Amino acid sequence: MPYLRSLSVKVIQREGMQHPRLLQALPETSFRLRSLTVSYPDPNDSIFSCIGDDLVSLSLCDSPRHYFQSRYSSESLLAIFPTLTSSECLTILKRVSAPRLSTRELVYEADAAEDELLQYLPRAFPLLEEFELHRYPASPDDSVPHLHVTRMLTTIKYLRALYLNLDITEDIYESWKVPRNRKAHDRLITSRNARGRELVRILQTGEHFEYLALPVHALYAGMWTLYHPAWRPGSSIWAEHDSPHAV
């Protein structure tokens, strides 16, 4: 397929399966892909060495979404919920030449290479504008360094939109457990908005930054709540709860 420009492969993993590999060996010529999406890819897949410099969108994602494991069992979906580690993501990205990349998604479990990975992004992809990050701790007991991660992302010069799932598991952030009590529900919204504003205050130092999106999980679907920076002196950060951006 010499004229292939967009490739998306999302494979649900079963117990005992290996990373899906798209290419077993290097082809005779490089591809000229503009968009590539692969769920739980093999870090040694040959495709990452021959994508071509035309790539503008890259997603190293999960399928099904890793956060579904707290809602569904592996028996009900007949699936497991694996993710790459930040070390594996770094290995892949160091093999990718994509100087025009503007949109990317990363899903990983944090390990010792996380800081190196986040520092590598602005160097390797200087035109990155839209970034979706799903970051999971190695252990449920690990704290989530949400301020540290956010500060590291401010080095992405042209960052315009950040979709950020940091898997925060405080009681008020329990996934899909939407409180039936109105007061508890209001506390959840107030707390989420406080965190969104806290992160936007860090991100709005970027010249091109437009909004932060935090995930909101409902019973059957999910949405992103958008948090916009203060555009004018004296104005305040504001939240857009009814955004059209579905998860």
DSSP 38-102: EES--TT-GGGGSS-TT--EEEEE-SS-GGGGGTS-HHHHT-----EEHHHHHHHHTT---TT--
Rg of the chain in Å (alpha carbons): 19
pLDDT bracket for residue 243 (50, 70, 90): low
Q: Is 16 exposed, middle or buried (0-12, 13-18, 19+ CB in 10 A)?
A: exposed
| Residues in contact with 205: Cβ distance below 8 Å, sequence separation at least 6, in sequence order | 154
Higher pLDDT, 145 or 141: 145
Number of neighbouring beta carbons within 10 Å of residue 155: 13
pLDDT in tens, 70-85: 666 656 677 788 899 9
Instruction: Report pLDDT for 74.
Output: 58
Rounded Cα distance between 81 and 26, Å, is 29
User: Average pLDDT of 21-27?
Assistant: 84
Name residue, tokens 């999406």.
37
pTM: 0.88
Instruction: Report pLDDT for 30.
Output: 78
The three-state secondary structure class of 220 is: coil
* pLDDT above 70 as % of the chain: 81
Instruction: Report pLDDT for 221.
Output: 60
User: Average pLDDT of 92-106?
Assistant: 95
User: Average pLDDT of 42-46?
Assistant: 92
pLDDT in tens, 164-181: 999 775 443 444 455 556
Instruction: Report pLDDT for 176.
Output: 47
In this predicted structure, the answer to whether residue 21 has a pLDDT above a threshold of 50 is yes
| 14-28, 46-60, 134-148, 204-218: the lowest-pLDDT one | 14-28
Instruction: Report pLDDT for 173.
Output: 43
Rounded Cα distance between 97 and 99, Å, is 6
What's the Cα-to-Cα distance from 21 to each of 4, 26, 57, 66, 88, rounded to whole Å? 18, 12, 19, 20, 14
Give the mean pLDDT of the chain: 84
- Checking DSSP bridges between strand 130-136 and strand 103-109, what pairing results, if any? parallel
Instruction: Report pLDDT for 155.
Output: 96
Instruction: Report pLDDT for 66.
Output: 82
Rounded Cα distance between 127 and 159, Å, is 8
| 16-25, 31-40, 108-117, 212-221: the lowest-pLDDT one | 212-221
Instruction: Report pLDDT for 245.
Output: 53
Instruction: Report pLDDT for 247.
Output: 47
Ordered DSSP codes for 121-132: HHHH-TT--EEE
| 51-60, 166-175, 217-226: the lowest-pLDDT one | 166-175
The answer to whether 144 and 137 have CB atoms below 8 angstroms apart is yes
Higher pLDDT, 232 or 35: 35
Instruction: Report pLDDT for 28.
Output: 81
User: Average pLDDT of 10-32?
Assistant: 83
Instruction: Report pLDDT for 239.
Output: 62
In this predicted structure, the answer to whether residue 108 has a pLDDT above a threshold of 80 is yes
**Alpha carbon 211 to its chain's center:** 15
**Amino acid at residue number 147:** L
Number of neighbouring beta carbons within 10 Å of residue 121: 23
Query: In degrees, to the nearest 5, what angle opens at C-alpha 134 toward C-alphas 207 and 127?
Result: 35
